[in-house]
Amino acid sequence: MSIWTTAKIIRIKKWTDQLFTVFMTAKIDNFIAGQFSKISILTGNTKRIQRAYSYVNPPNNNILEFYISRISEGCLSPTLYSLKPKDKVFITKKSFGCFTLNNISSCKILWMIATGTAIGPYLSILQQKNEEIKKFKHIILIHAVRYSQDLTYSSTIQKLEKIYYGKLIFKSIVSREKTKASLFGRIPNLLINQQLEKSVNYFISPHTSHVMLCGNPNMVKETCDVLQKNYKMKKNFKKNHGNISSENYW
């Protein structure tokens, strides 16, 4: 059973009508970058409505940050979208999940592939400076969205690129409009035709690469299938290490 604690809202950053970031403070247990927590509200002081959200902030930051998509018919996200500073919600003291670097073996190239708000856990990982990140010579961060306006964390990613001095390469993908700065299409197709690899000038191999997949369950499944069939890669488990780690975002 989850232990809940009160969280105080610091601010809400509304990127678009659907995308927003919640900043809050709360006394929680230590977490590992890449993990998620559960946020909840009480309706009628009795029924608890809760959802899982990954941290965007690194563990050493006292301000908790969550990147969220507002679902118009959703039970929780519309309420979170309308919150004001000093409002209060609940958050679990404990964090969850194994989508972390300590569960990945050393390799030459780490691929971080995300759709939508699932860029969050990667930003948490990349903003944390620890020994785990040294296991990889190169990191390729891929963010796929519908429209270019949804690339909301571009400035943060640009700062990270400078911090990593060429170790981090970022490529965006847009599926509903064509832009000069981004690839156009869907992740599985861009792997099949090798456009994604050619765009960053690095190539996926089971001998040199580990691929992290996070986001839309359909993307995760389809991309995993492509990686297994076309690239001969295997899923990563605690007792049976492979080179594909994944986390569905709903």
Tell me the pLDDT tens digit for each residue of 174-187. Answer: 999 999 999 999 99
Instruction: Say what the pLDDT of residue 78 is.
Output: 97
Boundary residue ending a domain (92, 121, 144):
92
Nearest to 243 by CA among 145, 231, 82: 231
- For residues 128 and 59, the answer to whether their CB atoms sit within 8 Å is yes
Residues 72 and 168 in one domain: no
Residues 134 and 45 in one domain: no
Q: 138: helix, coil or strand?
A: strand
Residues 231 and 185 in one domain: yes
Instruction: Say what the pLDDT of residue 157 is.
Output: 98
Residues 79 and 147 in one domain: no
Which pLDDT band holds residue 130 (cuts at 50, 70, 90)?
A: confident
Instruction: Say what the pLDDT of residue 216 is.
Output: 97
Percent of the chain with pLDDT over 90: 94
Residues 155 and 219 in one domain: yes
Residues 123 and 187 in one domain: yes
Residues 106 and 52 in one domain: no
Q: What is the pLDDT of residues 37-79, one digit of tens each?
A: 999 999 877 799 999 999 999 999 999 999 999 999 999 999 9
Instruction: Say what the pLDDT of residue 217 is.
Output: 97
Residues 40 and 130 in one domain: no
Mean pLDDT value across residues 18-39: 98
Say how many domains are in the chain.
Answer: 2
Q: What residues contact 155, with CB distance under 8 A and at least 6 apart? A: none
Side-chain half-sphere CA neighbours of 208 within 13 A: 10
Distance separating alpha carbons of residues 61 and 23, to the nearest angstrom? 11
Residues 109 and 155 in one domain: yes
Residues 81 and 112 in one domain: no
Residues 118 and 65 in one domain: no
Instruction: Say what the pLDDT of residue 239 is.
Output: 83
Q: Taking all residues of the chain, what is their mean pLDDT, rounded to a whole number?
A: 96
- Helix/strand/coil percentages in the chain, nearest 5: 25, 35, 40
Pairing of strands 107-115, 136-145: parallel
Burial of 196 (0-12, 13-18, 19+ CB in 10 A): buried
Q: What is the CATH number of the domain that holds 8?
A: 2.40.30.10
Boundary residue ending a domain (58, 92, 126):
92
Boundary residue ending a domain (68, 92, 116):
92
Residues 24 and 80 in one domain: yes
Calculate helix-pair angle for 154-163, 120-127, nearest 10 degrees: 30
Q: What is the pLDDT of residues 190-240, one digit of tens each?
A: 999 999 999 999 999 999 999 999 999 999 999 999 999 999 999 999 888
| Domain extent for 187 | 101-248
Nearest to 241 by CA among 135, 104, 114, 121: 104
